[in-house]
Amino acid sequence: MIAIINYGVGNLFSLESSFNAINQDVRVITNPDDLKNYDRIILPGVGAFEDAAKKLFASGMAGPLIEAAHSGKPVLGICLGMQLLFTASYEFGLHKGLDLIPGSVRAISEVIPEGLKIPQMGWNALNLAGHDGIFKNTPDYSHVYFVHSYYAVCDEKFITARTEYGADLTAAVQNKNIYGVQFHPEKSGSAGLDILRAFCEV
């Protein structure tokens, strides 16, 4: 069974619906004690890093989530949820993340040419490092839906997909059982559902 962590950031209705659409048993959970009863965990998130990190730590979810990740349970961070998996973010100051993947989160404005719109909002193609893990059902150059102004900077070995927006931006990461996607699989049509389906099978 899949847990979607609710720590008061953003609406989870679409995410929950997308797992229902692929016939997966899913629950939105608010009680940190419940996390141990699930075998897969989704960390969602929208908005600003600092606010979300504060809420995640204050919710009491961070400890059990880190524990579950270390125990080998598959974890998938989505959008800001992916950014929270990293060591730190440079969004409006320096803020600590969960440190489940070594690396940091930086503004795309530092690397994309001037004139390109920020946030990157819309459908962009995935350049995959391989066809395994959450991308085992995904053809190269599949389009997925992005909305973001920050991106992850980390060791090459963690990057499983990139997308080109004036620069090569990190689109997906993996550190063993810990997965992250910068885009929104729950808003990426059938390509997105394929990725969620694959996550349920890792």
Partner 1 sequence: MITKRIIPCLDVRNGRVVKGVNFQGLNDVNSPVELAKFYSDNGADELVFYDITASSDGRKIFTDILRETARNVFIPLTVGGGISSVKDFERVLSCGADKVSVNTGAINNPGLIPEAARLYGSQCVVISADVKKVGGAFHVFARGGRDDTNIEAVSWIKRCVDNGAGEVVLNSIDTDGVKKGFDLEMLKAVCDVVNVPVVASGGAGCIEDFITLFKTLPRVDAGLAASIFHFGEVSIRDLKQRMHDENILARL
- Residues marked active site are found at 79, 184, 186
Cβ proximity to partner 1: between 73 and 162 the closer is 162
Task: Please name the helix (run of DSSP H) or strand (run of DSSP E) that holds residue 101, with its range, or none.
Answer: strand 101-107
Residue 187 contacts residue 140 (beta carbons within 8 Å): no
Q: In angstroms, what is the minimal distance from the CB of 94 to partner 1?
A: 21
Cβ proximity to partner 1: between 119 and 130 the closer is 119
Q: Which residues bind partner 1 (CB under 8 A)?
A: 11, 13-14, 17-18, 20-21, 46-48, 117-125, 143, 145-147, 164-166, 186-190, 192-193
Cβ proximity to partner 1: between 15 and 65 the closer is 15
Q: Closest Cα to residue 64, out of 3, 105, 133, 11?
A: 3
Cβ proximity to partner 1: between 11 and 30 the closer is 11
Q: In angstroms, what is the minimal distance from the CB of 2 to partner 1?
A: 16
β partners of residue 40: 2
Residue 142 CA to residue 187 CA, distance in Å, equals 13
Q: In angstroms, what is the minimal distance from the CB of 163 to partner 1?
A: 9
Buried b (16+ CB within 10 A) or exposed e, 21-34: eeeeebeebeebee
β partners of residue 178: 75, 175
Q: In angstroms, what is the minimal distance from the CB of 126 to partner 1?
A: 12
Cβ proximity to partner 1: between 172 and 178 the closer is 172
Give me 169's structure tokens: 């931006």
Q: In angstroms, what is the minimal distance from the CB of 110 to partner 1?
A: 16
> Alpha helix (H) ranges present in 6-154?
13-21, 49-58, 62-70, 80-84
In this structure, how many other beta carbons lie within 10 angstroms of the beta carbon of residue 110?
Answer: 11
Q: What is the DSSP letter of 46?
A: -
